[in-house]
């Protein structure tokens, strides 16, 4: 990889150990992936923040000095910064978690801990280069916002933040962003159907960029931003691809001058998704003992909808099952949402910020989780003390709570 004189100096350690380490990481990744150069990034999004996942390795972060060069946000941590005690988090965990957070804050990274940076102000424009970890946000940024980022790991996103650059390879280059496999959806979709679809697509395409052809008829509206968020999260959970195309949504889909040529790059292989492929996800196998939504973190639109559903289903009763909603603090505290959150909590539902069901140790004593998230469907069985997860749409989630 070609380095500028300034980059060489940093690699030699002339600007200190932290930047030297960061540059070594970027150069190694660039060399491994045959990048030609480093390119400036608009923002970074760093994972590896929950003490549950990073553990004592946060001492590496703690050993770093200086400040990040670009706007940088953090993934969810292992607890609500304010309500950790109420969540049943041990004081020992809380102290360690606060140390981890402090190590990142010291570097000038925003302490907003969320998996939806694009909903709280770290929203890139089309064509901007980023270094984001958090697969759901990577897929959303590339496919919906038209920004350009590879699927970074925790240390590589941090290294990019400290240098303000990332190696140019993979999804930073237009020729690597073209669709490779066609996925034809033969039925209407709504709500958690997009989680199911993403779960299937991730499993089926592996690392090939899919062109998703949604069922189109005049009566069907295109997917909402929240549905695209769930689609992105589920594809990221089961697949290893960082982008998809949907015509009319993905800025690059079919609008480039070489659109026909693009189509010809698609392999002969075509995946068809039928209605029963989606419906198989909703088999009622286990009785849920907890309901969890907000993976990725709920938008204010979703919070409003959940409140409307609670009002309609609850008829002033309180929920009889544990019901958790996860969101970003900035969303919870926005003027339009604050009052809704209060009203949601009046139903006995708990709205939790900064963390989520999967990265917090507070939710490891359940047997079956009901959720609208395809990402949870994948990770709950692996990371939540042996619990099962069951998918259903948001309305059913609320219904089952009473």
Site residues, another protein (CB under 8 A): 21, 24-25, 28-29, 31-33, 47-48, 53-57, 59-60, 133, 152-156, 159
**Complex with another protein: residue 139 or 183, whichever CB lies closer:** 139
Shortest reach from residue 154's CB to another protein, in Å: 6
Shortest reach from residue 359's CB to another protein, in Å: 11
Half-sphere exposure of 2 (CA within 13 A, CB side): 5
- H or E stretch including 213? strand 210-213
**Complex with another protein: residue 151 or 331, whichever CB lies closer:** 151
Shortest reach from residue 243's CB to another protein, in Å: 18
Shortest reach from residue 159's CB to another protein, in Å: 8
**Complex with another protein: residue 169 or 347, whichever CB lies closer:** 169
- H or E stretch including 23? helix 17-32
Nearest to 130, CA basis, from 73, 207, 198 = 73
Q: What is the dihedral of CA 211, 217, 219, 223, to 10 degrees?
A: 0
Shortest reach from residue 373's CB to another protein, in Å: 19
Is-cis flag, bond preceding 376, omega within 30? no
Shortest reach from residue 163's CB to another protein, in Å: 14
What would the two tokens of residue 84 be? Answer: 């950790």
Token pair 């749409």 is found at 393
Helices and strands of the chain, counted as H and E runs: 17, 13
Nearest to 73, CA basis, from 125, 137, 128, 9 = 137
Helices (H), 208-350: 225-238, 259-264, 275-279, 300-314, 329-332, 335-345
**Complex with another protein: residue 33 or 267, whichever CB lies closer:** 33
Shortest reach from residue 17's CB to another protein, in Å: 11
Are 199 and 234 contacting, i.e. CB atoms less than 8 angstroms apart?
yes
Half-sphere exposure of 77 (CA within 13 A, CB side): 31
**Complex with another protein: residue 48 or 198, whichever CB lies closer:** 48
Strand order in the sheet with 210-213: 210-213, 181-185, 270-273
**Complex with another protein: residue 47 or 394, whichever CB lies closer:** 47
Shortest reach from residue 48's CB to another protein, in Å: 7
3-state secondary structure of 380: helix
Shortest reach from residue 236's CB to another protein, in Å: 13
**Residue 387, CA distances (Å) to 81, 319, 384, 399 in order:** 25, 21, 6, 21
Three-point CA angle 26, 32, 34, nearest 5°: 95
**Complex with another protein: residue 59 or 82, whichever CB lies closer:** 59
Shortest reach from residue 238's CB to another protein, in Å: 14
**Complex with another protein: residue 161 or 278, whichever CB lies closer:** 161
First to last CA, the chain: 59
Helices (H), 12-121: 17-32, 51-54, 58-62, 84-87, 91-105
Half-sphere exposure of 285 (CA within 13 A, CB side): 11
**Complex with another protein: residue 11 or 123, whichever CB lies closer:** 11
**Complex with another protein: residue 21 or 329, whichever CB lies closer:** 21
Q: How far apart are the C-alpha atoms of 345 and 355, rounded to whole Å?
A: 17
């Amino acid at each position: 990889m070609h380095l500028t004189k300034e980059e060489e100096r940093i690699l030699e350690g002339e600007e200190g150990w932290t930047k030297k380490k960061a540059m070594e990481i970027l150069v190694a990744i660039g060399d491994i992936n045959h990048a030609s150069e480093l390119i400036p990034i608009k923002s970074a999004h760093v994972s590896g923040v929950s003490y549950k996942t990073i553990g004592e390795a946060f001492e590496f972060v703690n050993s770093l000095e200086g400040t990040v060069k670009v706007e940088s946000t953090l993934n969810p941590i292992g607890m609500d910064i304010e309500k950790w005690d109420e969540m049943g988090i041990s004081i020992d965990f809380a102290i360690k978690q606060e140390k981890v957070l402090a190590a990142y804050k010291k570097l000038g990274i925003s302490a907003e801990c969320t998996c939806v940076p694009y909903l709280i102000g770290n929203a890139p424009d089309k064509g901007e280069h980023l270094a984001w970890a958090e697969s759901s946000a990577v897929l959303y940024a590339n496919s919906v916002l038209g920004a350009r980022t590879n699927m970074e790991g925790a240390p590589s996103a941090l290294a990019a933040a400290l240098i303000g650059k990332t190696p140019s390879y993979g999804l930073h280059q237009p020729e690597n962003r073209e669709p490779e496999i066609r996925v034809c959806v033969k039925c209407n979709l709504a709500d958690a159907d997009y989680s199911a679809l993403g779960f299937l697509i991730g499993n089926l395409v592996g690392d090939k960029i899919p062109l998703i052809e949604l069922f189109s008829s005049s009566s069907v509206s295109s997917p909402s931003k929240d549905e695209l968020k769930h689609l992105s999260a589920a594809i990221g959970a089961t697949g290893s691809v960082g982008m998809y195309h949907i015509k009319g949504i993905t800025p690059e889909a079919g609008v480039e001058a070489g659109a026909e040529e693009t189509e010809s790059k698609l392999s002969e292989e075509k995946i068809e998704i039928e209605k029963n492929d989606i419906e198989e996800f909703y088999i009622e196998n286990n009785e849920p003992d907890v309901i969890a939504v907000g993976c990725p973190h709920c938008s204010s639109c979703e919070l409003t909808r959940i409140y409307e559903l609670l009002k309609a289903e609850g008829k002033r009763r309180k929920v009889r099952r544990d019901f958790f909603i996860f969101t970003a603090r900035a969303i919870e505290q926005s003027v339009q949402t604050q009052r809704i959150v209060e009203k949601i909590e009046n139903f006995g539902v708990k709205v939790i910020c900064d963390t989520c069901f999967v990265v917090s140790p507070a939710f490891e004593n359940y047997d079956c989780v009901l959720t609208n998230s395809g990402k949870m469907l994948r990770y709950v069985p692996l990371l939540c003390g042996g619990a099962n997860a069951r998918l259903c749409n948001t309305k059913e989630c609320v219904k089952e709570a009473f």
